[in-house]
Amino acid sequence: MSIIKVEPGQKINLQDISPDDTGKLTSKKKAAKLLAQTTEQMAELQNILYAQSKHALLIVLQAMDAGGKDGTIRNIMSGVNPQGVRVTSFKKPTEEELSHDFLWRIHKAAPSRGMIGIFNRSHYEDVLVVRVHNIVPRSVWETRYEHINNFERLLTDSGVTILKFFLYISKAEQRERFQARLNQPHKRWKFNPADLGERDRWDDYMHAFEDVFARCSTNYAPWYIVPANKKWYRNAVISQKTVETLEGLNLKYPDPIKGLDDIVIK
C-alpha cells in the first residue's frame, strides 16, 4: 500500500510523491475486490460502534478542488447505516461563525460516541485558504497549528479516533477533471469558475499542505497522504485503512439485559 503515514515532525515534499502511485494494488479489478470486502466489514464494524456507543470515529478529508472528497465519501460509506454517519461540509464561514473562534463551528460538528463523522474540508482550511489568500495576518494563522493539535488531543482524549486523509492529485489530473465537468451536462453544476483562481495558486497550496503535515501530524491524529489520481486506488486504500482503524478499537456489542431468556412474547 502506497498510502503514506506522516510521522510527527516529518518534512514532506509533495513533489517527491507520485499521485499516480498504486503500490501493490496493481489493477482496478483487485481494488474493486478489496473495496467490496472492506465495505462489508465496515458495515458490521459500524453497527457495533453504534451499538456500543463507547468510541467515535472522525474522518477528515482534504484535497484540492476536484480532488475526490465527494466520491470518496460516496464509495467508502456505501454499505453503512446512514443514521450512524454524519457528513459535514465546511464552506465559507457565516457571520455568526466568524464572530466566534475558528474552531467553534468545527467542535459542534465533532461526532458523538457511537458515530462516524466525516469532514468534507475541515478546520485545516484556517491554515490553508486563509493563509494562501492572506485573509488574516501570519501572526494569527501561525498560532492555529498549536490550537488544532490541542483541539484534536481533546477529541481523542474524549474517545474520538481521528483519521486525516489528504487526497493528492496532480495539477494535470485536476485539469482533466475540470474539463470533464464542463463536457458533461449533468456535472456542469459542480464547476465553479472561481476554482480556476485557486488552481493558479497551486504551488502556494502545496507549500501550505506541507506545513500542515509537518506541524499537525501527531501520534494521536496522524495525516495520511493518499495518491489519488486513480479513483479506484483511493477508494480501496481509504476503506481499508478505515476498517483497520475500527478493528483496532476492539469493538464489541454491549451485554444484553439479564433475564432475556425468560421472556416469552405472546
Spatial separation of the C-alpha atoms in residues 131 and 198, rounded to whole Å: 13
Find the domain containing 180 and state its range: 4-251
Spatial separation of the C-alpha atoms in residues 55 and 161, rounded to whole Å: 7
Report the domain count for the chain. 1
Within-domain flag for 174: yes
Spatial separation of the C-alpha atoms in residues 251 and 183, rounded to whole Å: 46
Within-domain flag for 246: yes
Angle ∠(218,219,224) on CA atoms, nearest 5: 65
Q: Is the distance from CB of 130 to CB of 143 less than 8 angstroms? A: no
Q: Is the distance from CB of 244 to CB of 160 less than 8 angstroms? A: no
Within-domain flag for 263: no
Rounded to two decimals, the pTM is: 0.95
Q: What is the mean pLDDT of the chain?
A: 96
Give residue 198's pLDDT band: very low, low, confident or very high (50, 70, 90).
Answer: very high
pLDDT at 1 (0 to 100) = 47
Lowest mean pLDDT among 59-73, 94-108, 232-246, 252-266: 252-266
Q: Mean pLDDT throughout 220-232? A: 98
Q: Backbone dihedral region of 121: left (phi > 0), alpha (psi from -120 to 50 degrees) or beta?
A: left
Answer whether residue 114 shows pLDDT above 80.
yes
Give residue 262's pLDDT band: very low, low, confident or very high (50, 70, 90).
Answer: confident
Q: Mean pLDDT throughout 247-258? A: 93
Tens digits of residue pLDDT in 118-177: 999 999 999 999 999 999 999 999 999 999 999 999 999 999 999 999 999 999 999 999
Within-domain flag for 262: no
Within-domain flag for 264: no
Spatial separation of the C-alpha atoms in residues 158 and 174, rounded to whole Å: 38
In sequence order, the β-bridge partners of residue 167 are 63, 226
What CATH number is attached to the domain comprising 24? 3.40.50.300
Within-domain flag for 266: no
Spatial separation of the C-alpha atoms in residues 67 and 231, rounded to whole Å: 9
pLDDT at 185 (0 to 100) = 87
Within-domain flag for 265: no
Q: From 153, 149, 155, 159, select the one nearest 56 (Cα to Cα).
A: 159
Within-domain flag for 136: yes
Q: From 186, 157, 197, select the one nearest 64 (Cα to Cα).
A: 197
Answer whether residue 192 shows pLDDT above 90.
no
